[in-house]
Amino acid sequence: MGMQGDFFQLLKEQGYQFPTASQVAEGSGPEITRGTTILAMRYRDGVLVAGDRRATAGNMVMYDRTDKVLEIDRYCVMAIAGVPATAYEMARVLEHSFKYYRRSQLQELSFEGKLRAVSKLLKENVAAALAGTGAVAPIFAGYDHDHGAAKIYFYDILGAEFEGVEYAVSGSGSPTIRGILHYLNTWGPQPLNRLPEEEATVQALRLLTSAAEFDSATGGVNREAGLYPIVKLITSTGVQVLADAQLRSLFDTQVTRHV
């Protein structure tokens, strides 16, 4: 990302910065709101990204309608696990950064450039992450036009980047679903990347339901309240959001009848 299109440099020139270690320490004390659980997996047409809706603070449920799969631009999303306040700020910076680059350079930022931007923001946030008051461990997924494929990357709280070739998970419910994903991808009827859209969506609903069964911080489906996970698909045509009505139908016919 060249200097002319570097939105981060512009922010710094305008005085923007993430909290320092001393500023973070001053705000220590109360329980911090956190969000869990998120997953991404390849399927036949691209990448599916999903997240439960619960945000917690300690053992308290703060909110059950959190959107943890944030659209950064038409072709990429960032799913968040960790402190929503910090993650939402990162998402806003990324959204405006990509938009700034597009308008100033008259072209899209490359997928590699987008990955570097996510890592850069996480590194700027190290002080808050190490203090435990601003830790974010996101999954970034998007369509790479240069290679003609949707891709998945996940990060630790310090900004280290890893490619999730077939799938990635994060959040407190991730240990449960990581094992299930490995089993399905290795010994299931077919690898995850061959699943059609509907079957991939059903698997995502089952995985998040399993996580909620064993992790109190992961919110399950609440049919009475009309609460279903956020599920978004990334293909060559962009990001698509699955409607609650479609999720409700799949949950009622493909998930609850098996439990």
Distance CA 87, CA 34 (A): 10
Q: DSSP per residue over 84-104, as a string?
A: HHHHHHHHHHHHHHHHHHHHH
Distance CA 125, CA 57 (A): 20
Q: Which of 119, 118, 135, 138 is nearest to 127 (CA)?
A: 135
Is residue 36 part of the annotated active site? The answer reads yes
DSSP H stretches of helix in the chain? 7-13, 21-26, 84-105, 111-124, 126-131, 174-187, 197-214, 244-254
Catalytic option among 20, 36, 253, 256: 36
Q: Tell me the catalytic residues.
A: 36
